[in-house]
Amino acid sequence: MQYAASPYFYSRRSTRELLAGDPAAGGVAMGAHHPVVVQSMLTCDTMDTAESVRQTLELVGVGCQIVRITAPTVRDAANLKAIADQLRVEDCRVPLVADIHFKPEAAMEAAKWVEVVRINPGNYADSKKFAIKEYSDEQYAAELARIEEKFTPLVRLCKELGRVIRIGTNHGSLSDRIMNRFGDSPLGMVESALEFARIARKNGFHAFKFSMKSSNPKVMIECYRLLTARLAQEGPDWNYPIHLGVTEAGDGEDGRIKSAIGIGSLLCDGLGDTIRVSLTEDSPREIEVCRDLLAQIPVLTQPLTGADTAGWDGAELPYDPFAFERRRSLEADLGGGLLCGGENPVRVLVGRAAWEVLVPKISPRADVRPEGIWENLGVIEVDPRSPFSVPDPHRLVTLKDGLGIPALGGFRLLAARLRAMGCANPILLKDLLDPAAPPLESKIALLRAAVVLGALLADGIGDAILVRGESNPGAALRLAFNLLQAAGCRSFKTDYVACPSCGRTLFPLQSVTARIKERTEHLKGVKIAIMGCIVNGPGEMADADFGYVGGAPGKINLYVGKTPIKFNIPEADAVDRLVDLIKEHGKWLEPQEPAGVTV
């Protein structure tokens, strides 16, 4: 199966055009030749019409092109009319998306008033009780018939009214039926979405797009690749647009890195027609990141012509795009008994000048510390487009600077060439191949490093990384370690899965997330999920160790994995009870004085 035209250089996936409203009257066209569309979501109660309008206008003011609003009940869905009417009074015709979970009748009501209806196949008409059951083929077919009966009325209504449907599956919120046949897997997510797509097509309805979201960037990348490959197998008329997003990415640097790894990697492969960066922050800040991220893609995928492309497509793919496996490599000695490659963690290298600045300021017990000076290691620098040799199989190999080729495609080609040569040298990844360029703004350096290095690490390529786009040595070192954690390569601090706020949220997400981080951010290797409601609760917490989930207004439920342990805890006490739960399970350590870099 093929998920992109080429893994080595950019070619955008061809899709059909999709219209959300009338573009001549403020609507949006996506897919086909249109630029990638950016969107976000309201954080207020949908029944608060005035605040919904205010937040929508604020988002549109910063460049948001599609606005999503939760509609958990029929009553909320009906109020979308009041919101849309008031926006029209304000001369705002931005397309609105109703976010539907659990209630088909809410979707039917919402479709009357908004341009797009998002449904989640895992809970639209299917059950999610974490029940283990074997389905016979007859039982499975009967369930599909029941789903078709529930979903067809919405399809027909959207066809009649000219609406768009987003078929959005989420990792961890698959139905019991799908889970029991395919597991909580990318294949399960794709098959779940395709079931709904077939129902739409059976009714002659093609105005839909797909999304495959996960809080784990590697899983998210695998899902979208598998989806596009499966769509290509189904036939040329299955060329539906795709919405990209890493769900529950969190906030700050971590949220931006996770989003850039997942979304940026796929955009560089030519996939994606609309995107959302999901941050536990005020929604307008998501749009800034979306636009900054999109601006990097042309830079990171500069076109190649003529001799530059000769032989690239003849190289065998050096990774499995549909299942993560780290590239096998031999070990290299970094000095001081520290090794990279093989089974060792991905290492963080710095330049000699940065080493001299950093090392005197780092505590001996710091987790965040440079692990080698790359200029001292005899790294073999090559141009993968030309024949080269590697005299020592235990030396790091990397790309030469100044080649004028995209780093992402270049490192993939390097891995392919080494494989074809039967060489297992460890690979040093660089975020930039032109270090003489003017210094980057920190937020741009973060995005570029996350897209290039994160995408390669998600491919299983890379044994050491070198961040050069961030000019501040301390910031570059922190960025490197945060990137490795976001890519699932190393764990040096607490990992958080935090959903963005919306109208379903039952507690103030931003302030509570900050309080939980203040108490727990020293717990290396522990993953904590912070979820505003049950929709993004136990299922979507995936592999989190502990969960803090809104159960009712002012009440919190605490989870261990996907299992609820404590219920209806008053919000004022819930963070303390979370700490108690972590202690009960032997995961607690008392915080110590910070031991990191001060620059």
Sign of CA dihedral 135, 140, 146, 152: positive
Class of CATH domain 495-584: alpha beta
Could you give the CA distance from residue 159 to residue 550 in angstroms, rounded to a whole number?
36
334: which DSSP letter? E
Could you give the CA distance from residue 245 to residue 219 in angstroms, rounded to a whole number?
12
Q: What is the largest CA-CA distance in the chain?
A: 72
Q: What is the layout of strands, in order, in the sheet containing 428-430? A: 347-349, 464-466, 428-430
Q: What pLDDT score does 247 carry?
A: 84
Tell which CATH architecture fits domain 25-242: Alpha-Beta Barrel (3.20)
Q: Confirm whether pTM is higher than 0.75.
A: yes
The amino acid at 96: L
Could you give the CA distance from residue 566 to residue 320 in angstroms, rounded to a whole number?
41
Taking the chain (599 residues) in consecutive chunks of 10 residues, what is each chunk's mean pLDDT?
89 96 92 97 96 98 97 97 98 96 94 97 72 77 91 98 96 81 88 96 98 92 97 97 89 92 97 95 95 96 65 77 94 94 97 95 86 96 93 96 92 95 97 84 97 97 97 96 94 84 78 91 89 66 83 89 89 94 92 57
Contact between 431 and 374 (Cβ < 8 Å): no
CA count, 13 A, side-chain hemisphere, 176:
12
Sign of CA dihedral 88, 92, 97, 98: negative
The label of the residue with tokens 């994995």 reads 561
Question: Which residues does residue 212 pair with via DSSP β-bridges, in sequence order?
Answer: 169
Domain boundaries, the chain: 25-242, 320-486, 495-584
Contact between 318 and 456 (Cβ < 8 Å): no
CA count, 13 A, side-chain hemisphere, 420:
16
Contact between 199 and 148 (Cβ < 8 Å): yes
Question: Which residues does residue 164 pair with via DSSP β-bridges, in sequence order?
Answer: 116
CB crowding 542-567: b at 16 or more within 10 Å, else e: bbbbbbbbbbeeeebbbbbebebebe
Contact between 140 and 189 (Cβ < 8 Å): no
CA 249, distance to chain mean position in Å, is 7
Reference 550, options 500, 581, 495, 509; nearest CA is 509
Could you give the CA distance from residue 27 to residue 212 in angstroms, rounded to a whole number?
24
